[in-house]
Structure 1
Amino acid sequence: MAKRTSNESSISEVLQQFIQVNRLEAGMDKIDVEQAWKNLMGNGVNSYTQEVILKGTTLYVKLTSAVLREELSYGKQKIIDMLNEELRKEVVKDLILR
């Protein structure tokens, strides 16, 4: 009998290959950015967040509080850095608060 070679891969490796082959990275990044925003900003900010949309490398966040929008605008670069660190790759280059 012929000896079988080990052709085992983890599920995460198979899924990553599937995403790359089918060019689904952009869609996955959109989902990941929304989740990262929710995780990093906490309940206080999330209660005032209406939409989190990633278009290209720009993240658009719609907030219901003008005061919160002004406060967050002072720390835009820090928020971008935190999101990219959470995602473990540079996805967001600009942040627009509405």
Structure 2
Amino acid sequence: MAKRNNDHINIQDALKEFVETNKLEKGLDKVNVKDAWVKLMGNGVNNYTTGIQLERNTLFVQLSSSVLREELNYGKQKIISMLNEELGKEIVKKLILR
């Protein structure tokens, strides 16, 4: 049984410690990237987004519209910087639109 720590800490620090101890950062990053994509791209793009997957530092986005895919290709670097700014750290280094 784990030893109880009698020091008082706030819930944010406790959750951060739990995530770091159990090595859950990568899984949380995957969820956070999906949420950031939905928030930043809006309904117009999200209606044509069929899949979002983060592997290492590459974000794969599956789109059902070839026209939209070509349009987003022109602004890849801006999308990457917007996502990283929203996430507060550099998670996405490469964006692949399928």
2:75 aligned with 1:75: yes
Partner residue in 2 for 1:34: 34
CA distance in 2, matches of 1:9, 1:82: 33
1:11 Cα shift? Answer: 1.1
Matched pairs, number: 93
SS of 2:89's equivalent in the other structure is: coil
1:8 Cα shift? Answer: 2.1
Q: Runs of 4 or more off by more than 3 Å in structure 1?
A: none
1:10 Cα shift? Answer: 1.7
Partner residue in 2 for 1:43: 43
Write out aligned runs for 1:1-98 (5 A): 7-98=7-98
Q: Which amino acid aligns with 2:21?
A: V
CA distance in 2, matches of 1:51, 1:10: 36
Q: Which amino acid aligns with 1:86?
A: E
Deviations 1:51-89 (A, max 9, x none): 010000000000000000000000000000000000000
C-alpha RMSD of matched pairs (Å): 1.0
Deviations 1:37-64 (A, max 9, x none): 0000000000000001000000000000
Q: TM-score if structure 2 supplies the norm length?
A: 0.92
SS of 2:7's equivalent in the other structure is: coil
Structure 2 residues not aligned, in runs of 5+: 1-5
SS of 1:32's equivalent in the other structure is: helix
Q: Which amino acid aligns with 2:20?
A: Q
1:7 Cα shift? Answer: 2.5
Structure 1 residues not aligned, in runs of 5+: 1-5
CA distance in 1, matches of 2:30, 2:23: 13
